[in-house]
Amino acid sequence: MQIGMKIYYEKQTGNVIVNTGERTGDVIPTTEEQDVATYFILKEHAPETVGMIQFKYGEFTADYAEGGVITRIDLDTLEPLVTYSKQTEIKTPLEPVQRSVNKWNFWRRTTRS
């Protein structure tokens, strides 16, 4: 069985409280009550202030592969907002001077005994 992630979020701000993650294999779906018992941070919020969205398995695989993380829920559309890490946003090659310094540092590390 494949189970998509659940996102629990603050209804007032859209901030993600818990992402349960995806599960596959010998797993069973959980209820919201079971999730509250499992994820202690949910107990810190009044139930009426927390929303939950269940997604399909694999729905955000491409985003996660690119370094994306669901950080908020758009409260108007209830669509997830994905934030990407700065590392995956850096796609420009290194400047020539920086490349030669890196090459020298590599040579220095490999020639020392």
Tell me if 106 is assigned to some domain: no
Tell me if 33 is assigned to some domain: yes
| Residue-wise pLDDT tens digits, 15-42 | 999 999 999 999 999 999 999 999 999 9
Give me the number of domains the chain comprises: 1
Tell me if 82 is assigned to some domain: yes
Tell me if 91 is assigned to some domain: no
Provide the residue range defining the domain that includes 68. 2-86
Report d(CA 82, CA 70) in Å as an integer: 4
Tell me if 94 is assigned to some domain: no
For 73, the enclosing helix (H) or strand (E) is strand 68-73
- Examine the pLDDT at 109 and tell me if it is beyond 70: no
Tell me if 6 is assigned to some domain: yes
pTM above 0.85? no
Tell me if 93 is assigned to some domain: no
User: Which residues are CB-neighbours of 102 under 8 A, at least 6 positions away?
Assistant: 94
Distances (CA, A) of 93 to 21, 60, 65, 104, 110: 34, 28, 21, 17, 23
In one letter, which amino acid is 7?
A: I
In one letter, which amino acid is 107?
A: W
